[in-house]
Structure 1
Amino acid sequence: MMQQTADERPGIAAAIIVHEGRVLMVRRRVSEGKLSWQFPAGEVEPGESPADAAVRETKEETGLDVSAAKLLGERVHPATGRLMSYTACEVVSGTAHVADDEELAELAWVAHDEIPEYVPYGLYEPVQQYLDGALAR
């Protein structure tokens, strides 16, 4: 069996959840570099698809039941070096709250024009393009 290198760490799946004209963002208790506000996200478990991981992490972190709509894109994150996948999700039921208070400090439903205040360094382009379309209505 080959030894795992750092780059073979599990990928991170992020959920892009748009509801009533806003996108759900969470603030982690421990910020990763300058990443403070981000999307609900977590490691993809063995045998799990990125979409399934995004749905599961959203439930664990925010208590929200969502369904995966489409994969928006994947990239190696420039700040963390982790493989990231971004899945657009739709709310099925529930009300978002800080369900995992060890991980999360707070969450917010962010309007389109507020995104730069939360993510001043800009979003991954396919995610921004999706939000431009989904939130511009």
Structure 2
Amino acid sequence: MGNRSCAAIVSNDSVLMVRQTYKGSTFWTFPGGRIEQSETPEECAIRETLEETGLEIEITKKVCEFFNDRINGLYFCYLGKVLGGNARLGSDPELSNDAQELLELKWFPIKEMQEHPEVSRILPYL
């Protein structure tokens, strides 16, 4: 995949997650995706969040950056603040309709997701 960036959106003690399929596995993750050559990790997190959730955000904090073996690249995670839009399941404009990887969008109470590997990384920043 290459370098990936995502945004953790937290509101009313809940976190927004997308369920997606990648390399044959289905899982819940933060909105995000591959960093394009012409953009920064922050710009990618903002763009991917809009594409996948319909929400316009601004980045408020960097949570982490590390090499991830699964994607064979750097993984960036940020906290994002909603500026506008309505939460809805979006799509990946680079994939055809029958090849979409996004399956569902859902707000989860943070207390139910504390053991999730991505959510556990953002807890110290909330």
Bin the TM-score by the shorter chain. Answer: 0.7 to 0.9
1:113 aligns with 2:120: no
**Equivalent-residue separation in structure 1 for 2:41 and 2:22 (angstroms):** 22
> Displacement of 1:79 after TM fit?
3.5
Query: How many correspondences in the alignment?
Result: 119
1:22 aligns with 2:22: no
> What residue in structure 1 maps to residue 54 of structure 2?
63
Q: Give the SS at the match of 2:71.
A: coil
Task: Report the AA paired with residue 107 of structure 1.
Answer: L
> Displacement of 1:32 after TM fit?
4.3
> What residue in structure 2 maps to residue 73 of structure 1?
64
Task: Report the AA paired with residue 106 of structure 2.
Answer: A
How many percent identity over aligned positions?
33
> Displacement of 1:76 after TM fit?
1.2
> What residue in structure 2 maps to residue 86 of structure 1?
77
* Aligned residues of 2:17 and 2:107 also touching (Cα < 8 A): yes
Q: Which has the higher strand share?
A: 2
Computing the radius of gyration from Cα coordinates, the structure with the larger value is: 1
**Equivalent-residue separation in structure 1 for 2:112 and 2:54 (angstroms):** 23
Q: Give the superposed CA RMSD.
A: 2.3
User: Which has the higher mean CA deviation after the structures are superposed, 97-106 or 41-50?
Assistant: 97-106
For residue 46 of structure 1, the aligned residue among 22, 37, 62 is: 37
TM-score with structure 2 length normalisation? 0.81
Structure 2, unaligned stretches of length 5 or more? 92-96
Structure 1, unaligned stretches of length 5 or more? 1-8
What whole-Å deviation, never above 9, does each CA across 1:61-92 have from its counterpart, x for those lacking one? 11111111121110112433321000110001
Shift in alpha-carbon separation, 1:125–1:115, aligned structure 2, 3 A = closer
Task: Report the AA paired with residue 23 of structure 1.
Answer: V
TM-score with structure 1 length normalisation? 0.75
